[in-house]
């Protein structure tokens, strides 16, 4: 009878575990906490960087935009080499070292007082960030193992969105104060989160590299020569244009063409963030091999395509109707977004040789980065300039890429020495989802 009072806390614990993206104790939890610390800093910086650089440092918006564009393009060059380095070294230690470097670079924004200094710091920041993403993917694969890496990826995505949301909220305090000291605290806070994340990473065990034949082509070179892998990864990168849709096109469309109140932009982004935190792990199941990941990518393309006409329909409506359509479209979009994320990870992992995971993740990240680079200019021209036909054209692109992915995947799998899954096979969804 004495255990009866313990039931309410147990129920509360179960209720929390149902909505919390933080996994049970273990290596994945340690990696999740490191990711949480890192992305709180990302939220701080992403929210406050533009205002800090323009209002406190004194750069013009054009200088900030040009500098970030150049830095982003230069930064892509680090993705494949550093990913390849993660195949030859322990990815845990390598990522911790890179984050120490990122902490120094993040703090260096305090020294920015002119455009040349800003450009130098921004380029270093982009190089480390791009390379660290490839190393992170290799570390996720090592922690999760072949059966649990996609689950780990989905978990960390949910955690990352939670961290960014917390960081954005904390940045709001500094932005409300809008003093020199407040902006400096924001910059220092971002740097400190890198140090905390690196410390947490070192609590993980070391992961030795997979042995390889010394006569083989360097792993990063092999990734860039694998045309079949690049074709599948390129399809995923085309679908990744949807990231620009949510973060740039929809906010501008909502205010300029749908005549919705500006506050709806925050509501749209918050809707996507909440759904990502709640659903990333659940919707991430069933993408552990190339065949199932390809089918999930097909669903992602079709669902993203369905969201585009809903966004388009918000124009010319009453304010209330426009807001409802924008939020419904974002809910539909978020499902496609999550399916695309886990499907892309599943394909990039399963189509890569076991001894070159990092290099292949770097190549995948390189193509995705190129899509992010061209996305703003391309989609503002096509959608904001083209209106409803532009939205429909984008929907056609997403649907076409989704439908083409299984065929591309079958072609890529057929070129492997020991294919593990073929996109045309019947799905084995009764297999239990791997947990880490």
The CATH topology of domain 26-201 is Growth Hormone; Chain: A; (1.20.1250)
Return the pLDDT at 332.
97
Instruction: Report residue 427 as tokens.
Output: 């799905």
Q: What is the pLDDT of residues 202-233, one digit of tens each?
A: 999 999 887 765 555 555 578 888 999 999 99
Return the pLDDT at 435.
31
Return the pLDDT at 17.
52
pLDDT at 191 over 50: yes
Q: What is the pLDDT of residues 160-189, one digit of tens each?
A: 999 999 998 888 888 888 889 999 999 999
- 93-99 long-range CB contacts below 8 Å, 24 or more apart? 93/202, 93/206, 94/135, 95/132, 95/135, 95/136, 95/139, 95/198, 95/201, 96/198, 96/201, 96/202, 97/198, 98/128, 98/131, 98/132, 98/135, 99/38, 99/132, 99/194, 99/195, 99/197, 99/198, 99/201
Task: Give percent of the chain with pLDDT exceeding 90.
Answer: 65
Return the pLDDT at 376.
87
Q: Which residues of 410-423 are buried (b: 16+ CB within 10 A; e: fewer)?
A: bebbeeeeebebeb
Kindly indicate the confidence band of residue 42, based on its pLDDT and cuts at 50, 70 and 90. very high
Task: Give percent of the chain with pLDDT exceeding 70.
Answer: 89
pLDDT at 426 over 50: no
Look-up of token digits 């902006």: 183
Burial class (CB in 10 A: 0-12, 13-18, 19+), 22: middle
Q: What is the pLDDT of residues 57-100, one digit of tens each?
A: 999 988 988 898 899 899 999 999 999 999 889 999 999 999 99
Mean pLDDT, the chain, whole residue set: 87
Return the pLDDT at 4.
43
Q: 390: closest CA among 337, 311, 335? A: 311
The CATH topology of domain 219-414 is Growth Hormone; Chain: A; (1.20.1250)
Numbered ranges of CATH 1.20.1250.20 in the chain: 26-201
pLDDT at 390 over 50: yes
Kindly indicate the confidence band of residue 7, based on its pLDDT and cuts at 50, 70 and 90. very low
Look up residue 109 and give its DSSP letter.
G
pLDDT at 28 over 70: yes
CA atoms within 13 A on the CB side of 207: 28
CB of 254 closer than 8 Å to CB of 264: yes
CB of 39 closer than 8 Å to CB of 46: no
Return the pLDDT at 69.
86
pLDDT at 255 over 90: no
Return the pLDDT at 163.
93
Mean pLDDT of 36-47: 92
Mean pLDDT of 243-265: 87
Mean pLDDT of 290-306: 97
Mean pLDDT of 334-355: 95
Return the pLDDT at 222.
83
């Amino acid at each position: 009878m004495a255990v009866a009072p313990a039931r309410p806390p147990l129920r509360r614990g179960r209720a929390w575990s149902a909505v919390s993206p933080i996994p049970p104790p273990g290596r994945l939890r340690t990696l999740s906490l490191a990711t949480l610390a890192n992305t709180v800093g990302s939220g701080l910086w992403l929210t406050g960087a533009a205002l800090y650089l323009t209002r406190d440092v004194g750069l013009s918006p054009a200088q900030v935009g040009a500098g970030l564009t150049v830095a982003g393009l230069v930064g892509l060059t680090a993705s494949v080499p550093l990913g390849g380095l993660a195949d030859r070294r322990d990815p845990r230690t390598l990522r911790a070292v890179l984050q120490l470097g990122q902490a120094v670079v993040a703090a260096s924004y305090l020294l920015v007082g002119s455009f040349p200094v800003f450009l130098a710091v921004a380029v270093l920041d982009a190089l480390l960030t791009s390379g660290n993403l490839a190393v992170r993917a290799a570390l996720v694969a090592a922690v999760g193992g072949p059966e649990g890496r996609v689950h780990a990826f989905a978990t960390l995505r949910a955690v990352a969105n939670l961290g960014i949301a917390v960081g954005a909220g904390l940045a709001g305090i500094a932005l409300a104060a809008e003093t020199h000291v407040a902006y400096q605290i924001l910059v220092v806070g971002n740097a400190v989160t890198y140090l905390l994340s690196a410390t947490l990473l070192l609590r993980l065990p070391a992961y030795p590299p997979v042995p390889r034949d010394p006569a083989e082509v360097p792993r990063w070179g092999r990734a860039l020569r694998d045309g079949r892998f690049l074709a599948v990864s390129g399809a995923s990168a085309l679908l990744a244009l949807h990231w620009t849709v949510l973060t740039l096109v929809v906010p501008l469309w909502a205010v300029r063409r749908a005549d919705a109140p500006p506050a709806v932009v925050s509501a749209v982004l918050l809707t996507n963030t909440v759904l990502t935190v709640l659903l990333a792990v659940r919707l991430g199941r069933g993408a552990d091999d190339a065949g199932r990941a390809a089918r999930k990518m097909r669903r992602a393309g079709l669902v993203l395509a369905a969201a585009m006409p809903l966004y388009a329909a918000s124009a010319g409506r009453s304010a209330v109707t426009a807001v409802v359509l924008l939020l419904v479209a974002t809910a539909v979009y978020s499902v496609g977004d999550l399916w695309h994320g886990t499907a892309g990870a599943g394909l990039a992992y399963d189509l890569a040789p076991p001894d070159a995971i990092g290099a292949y993740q770097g190549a995948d990240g390189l193509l995705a980065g190129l899509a992010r680079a061209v996305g703003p200019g391309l989609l503002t021209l096509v959608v904001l300039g083209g209106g409803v036909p532009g939205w429909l054209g984008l929907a056609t692109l997403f649907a076409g890429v989704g439908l083409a992915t299984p065929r591309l995947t079958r072609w890529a799998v057929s070129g492997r020495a020991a294919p593990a899954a073929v996109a045309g096979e019947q799905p084995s969804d009764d297999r239990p989802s791997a947990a880490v």
